[in-house]
Amino acid sequence: MLTLDFPNKEVLESISTLYLSDIYSIKDCVEIGNNIWDALKKGEMQRIVDFFNVALSELPYDGLEDQINEYFFRALFLMLLRCVGIIAYAEVHTFKGRSDIVIQFEQQVVVIEFKFAPTSAEVNAKRQEGIAQIRSRDYAKPYGGEGRAVSAFVVVADGQLRQAVL
């Protein structure tokens, strides 16, 4: 078995930036990523979603119809984090399940659960499902003993509006 990884943080940042700018046409991906970083550190969840929606608004309409799902939104968000050097992990295994994204700062840990609602009418149900999942599976619990602040929230991707909501 062979596991491939990026040789260093700089290569990971460069590859993420390349994908976002050249493949997904997100021109200001580094600036957007930096704004998300700032909002994450301050715990400003709505600003995080607002900047993520800026990135989503730059995506080309053509060719993405078959890709619009939870995994697409999560991967795009993860690339925005990684292009500016944020230490973030996807599908983090715990004793009760897998959290979608875990972001680790020196003073805090942020756990994000992504949900996809094909229509706007399903957004609230998906949000409640995500909140229940974070609580029932104790996604934030493994970080509680580290002395860092821990927060968790749900981002719902509205497939009809093609934007993220809290």
pLDDT digits 0-9 by tens, 32-42: 989 999 999 89
Q: Write down the pLDDT at residue 48.
A: 94
| Mean pLDDT (the chain, rounded) | 88
The span from the CA of 26 to the CA of 17, in Å, is: 9
Q: Is the pLDDT of residue 64 over 70?
A: no
SS3 of 100, please? Answer: strand
Q: pLDDT-based confidence at 65, cuts 50/70/90? A: low
Closest-CA residue to 38 (of 47, 26, 29): 47
Among 46-50, 65-69, 76-80, 134-138, the minimum mean pLDDT is found in: 65-69
Among 25-29, 63-67, 116-120, the minimum mean pLDDT is found in: 63-67
Structural domains present in the chain? 9-165 (3.40.1350)
Higher-pLDDT residue of 25, 105: 105
Q: Is the pLDDT of residue 81 over 70?
A: yes
